[in-house]
Amino acid sequence: MLKRSFFGRSPLIVAPDLLGKILVHSKNGIRTSGRIVEVEAYLGNQDPASHAYKRKTERNRVMFGPPGYAYVYFTYGSHFCMNVVTGNDGEASAVLIRALEPLEGVTAMKRRRKKTKEKDLTSGPGKLAQALGIDRKCYGLDLLKKPLWISEERSGNTYKVKRSPRIGIKQAVDLPYRFYLPDSDYLSRP
């Protein structure tokens, strides 16, 4: 399991460092997990694309707290997205988990997603939340303990990492704050 200090850094450092780590959710006795292959960094009041750009609200309040907690939000009438709070307490930055490579609990993921192809299970932020059973009940959970946490891979591998502009935003569209493993088959887009 990762330490608090891992998250207590700039989201631009944490984001690429999260690639290859394992996101795990244990729910109703079912454990699902996946290897992180795509993320995006969101700064606080310097970043017009961030939910925390303007002010603290009921929705974004967890971003203003200490790092290592889950910021989960509902959007487009049907999807949840999972973020990791980063930076110092009060900094309001986060990293959006955009895609995973499924590891444990693939059967449960297929049932939740109503899909059978593995590539359709977790290849997008809304998809992976549904596959892992992440919803508003996960808002504000401490990612250093069950039922939702992030762990290190067995070996300290290094990966080829690429970066690009973020996806789906209308503000600050040119900033290259998306990080991904270009060789993965599970990206939200190539």
| Interface with DNA (CB under 7 A) | 40, 42, 49-52, 54-55, 57-60, 73-79, 81, 83, 94, 96, 98, 113, 115, 120, 124-128, 166-171, 188
CA–CA distance, 65 with 54 (Å, rounded to integer): 16
Closer Cβ to DNA, 40 or 153, answer by number: 40
* Residue whose CB is less far from DNA, 103 or 169: 169
How is residue 55 written in tokens? 């002010």
Minimum Å distance from CB 74 to DNA?
A: 5
Distance, CA of 117 to CA of 157 (rounded, Å): 27
Nearer to DNA, 157 or 163 (CB): 163
Smallest separation, CB 5 to DNA (Å): 23
Smallest gap from residue 125 Cβ to DNA (A):
5
> Measured from the CB atom, is 152 or 171 closer to DNA?
171
Residues 6+ away with beta carbon under 8 Å from 95: 11, 14, 15, 18, 39, 40, 41, 42, 83, 84, 86
In whole angstroms, how close is the CB of 77 to DNA at the nearest point? 2
Cβ burial of 11 (10 Å; 0-12, 13-18, 19+) is buried
Nearest to 155 by CA among 51, 70, 35: 35
